[in-house]
Chains A and B, each alone.
Chain A
Amino acid sequence: MLFGTNPFFRWSYITSNWSQIQADLVQHIELSLIAVAIGTAISIPLAVLAWRYRIIRAPVFGVASALYIIPSLALFAILGPITGFVASYTTAEIALVGYTLLILIWNTVAGLDAVPADAREAATALGYSRSAALVRVDLPLALPYIFAGLRVATATVIGLVTVTALIGLGGLGQQITYGFNIGYNTPIIVGLVLSVALAAVADLLLVGAERLVVPWARTRRAKAVS
């Protein structure tokens, strides 16, 4: 045993390992940010296509569901031989992006479906073409749903990044596996608490961004509450 006793939490661990914790935190943010960004860039166009052309809806949701159902650890192991190296950013990111697709596509399609027919008719009456209406009417009105999806996807990814520690990456997951390997509580708790805090901060930022981008949603929500 490295440490004579194993208290529930030892502050000195944080001060003496601060640079490593910081590096893990940065890697965690990097892995999550890239996954959500790529996931969004893929999902929104796919969702628009799936919404407009019913015929591709089933295959798009089928593939996204299949990726969502495969356990993360298994997906890393399956992708490893394909990308060439298991413990690579590519392997981790492909898998992480895979998990965001279903959530983001699902919510975007639901949001587009929920656009009131009145709004679309008004856009047509004003002379908008179909694609202009998509960009200036449909997608903006779907934003509350898209943001709901982004929030779930971000929280999911931040949690899943810890599992990439088992293929040698992991961000804060490194703290968790380190603590487990030497039977020491503190690193695990550090990983757990920082990961939860990261998810909370990311969620707050997304809520803030939503308020900036979708100001009308706030007034509507306020009305619904009162």
Chain B
Amino acid sequence: MELAPYLILGCIEGLVTAAVLALMAVGLSLVFGVMRVVNVAHGEFFMLGAVLAWFVADQLGGHPAIAFLAALIIAPLLVGTLAMLADMTILKRISYDPERTIVATIGLLYIIQQLTLMTYGSNARPVEPPFNQRIAIPWFEWTDGGLSLYWPWGLGTTSYKLAVIGFAIILLLGIWVLMTRTRIGLIMRATQLDRDVAQAYGINVDRVYAMVFGLGAGLAALAAVLIVPIQQAHYLMGHDPLLLSFIVVIIGGLGSLVGTVIAAVMIGLSDGLISVFFTPTLAKIIATLMVTFVLIFRPSGLMGSK
């Protein structure tokens, strides 16, 4: 048995995880970077995205690709709007005090999670991917005729998974362009750098905060829509991704987008590889301890500037 094809499988699986993780972590990082608050309910926004995707697909029926596309647009928008409302009614009222925000978002976590339990139920439900061709993973072998390709039995990925990776890359580039090349991005970065000065220049900080909070949640929801054809939608699915995105954001450096992406790739790949070769639990333990020690000994992360 060749090791390499399994490595390739592990890498692809890892990159899918990394793609989804990167989107979700960027959302979290944006919120922390600009607003300086930790949103513990971030995982529930993720879960809501998946649940709403199922809901939209279920209601629409018809061709899976159309249902999926609709979900891809509607779910993040709905979740983002909900987040903006939460920001305006709760977070603003407690003046974004770091401790109170953590408490409030923990409360929000339970509210969203339990309301979903009450309406959607405790079952996991699938959403059909828009396309799903099986692609076998090739590898090389020496034959009489020299080097040639062969397809190890049972090792394959799907076209959808590859598409997820591609789509995430495009989206992340888009966010980078948004933050660095547009006016909105400039306003967000200005508010991040110095809230009071930004306000003095006429920037409506409250509105920026609501927008950023909504954008962060929307990204999480989007990541969920992408993963739900692979994973199914379940009311508790926000828990693990929340912890993983915390890990990614901290290792990458709070407030640094590039660092977040790099860390997501690292964590996603290692998670994928360790899961393929060992157990998922061990992978999680290692990742958790990694971030803890980064925070202790290198608090600014890989590239952060806290």
The answer to whether A and B belong to the same complex is no
* Residues in B lying within 8 Å of A, measured CB to CB: none
* Residues in A lying within 8 Å of B, measured CB to CB: none
